[in-house]
Amino acid sequence: MSLLIFLGIIIVLIIYSISLYNHLVNVKHAVSLAWANIDVLLKQRHDELPKLVEVCKQYQEFEQSTLQRVIEARSQVHSARESQDIPALGQAEGTLRMGLGKLFAVAEAYPELKANEHFMQLQTRITSLENAIADRRELYNETVNINNVQIELFPASLIAQRFNFLEKPLLEFSAQETADVDMKQLFG
């Protein structure tokens, strides 16, 4: 009788361990899926930015330093995205968003550019992608938080350590991106 109880306890522990392991696998893949969703949007925006820059370049007097900052920031985002360096991506995203904000603000001073249908379509598309990226970043950070909590909770932490489930970094924003926008500087 005691042998049956002992075997029953062992079987329950094995089933519970398998269930915990499977849960950790599901959470790990949810993080990967959330990242893949961000990656798709970043790539789409990455593909749209050269078109926007080209349209702006058609207006010779358009502020070249603003275009250069956007091009450099785009490159930084691409590098961080390719290497999946989440902290660097957060920083590069902040720089790119500021550059795009400046570009759209400077475009206000060029009525011909603002009237350009292609520019307006690209501006709308990029703004839409920015909003989608912000939504996906929120989902990604929520999923990462669930992952990080789950691998620290006992007894799941025992399985997480044993099978090398790792903590994932949050996609955090730079101080510049979370600060109030200085409208005087933007239009100055």
Give the pLDDT mean for 52-74.
80
Q: How far apart are CA 77 and CA 166, in angstroms?
A: 24
C-beta atoms surrounding 90 within 10 Å: 18
Q: Which two tokens stand for residue 3?
A: 């042998």
Q: Which of 141, 50, 147, 139 is nearest to 103 (CA)?
A: 50
**pLDDT-above-90 percentage for the chain:** 44
Mean pLDDT of 81-95: 87
Architecture field, domain 34-187 = Up-down Bundle (1.20)
The CA distance from 108 to 94, in Å, is 22
N-to-C CA span, the chain: 85
pLDDT tens per residue, range 39-51: 999 999 888 888 8
Peptide bond into 111 cis (omega under 30): no
117-151 pLDDT per residue, tens? 888 888 889 889 989 998 999 999 999 999 999 99
Buried b (16+ CB within 10 A) or exposed e, 8-34: eeeeeeeeeeeebbeebeebbebbeeb
**For the whole model, what pTM was predicted?**
0.75
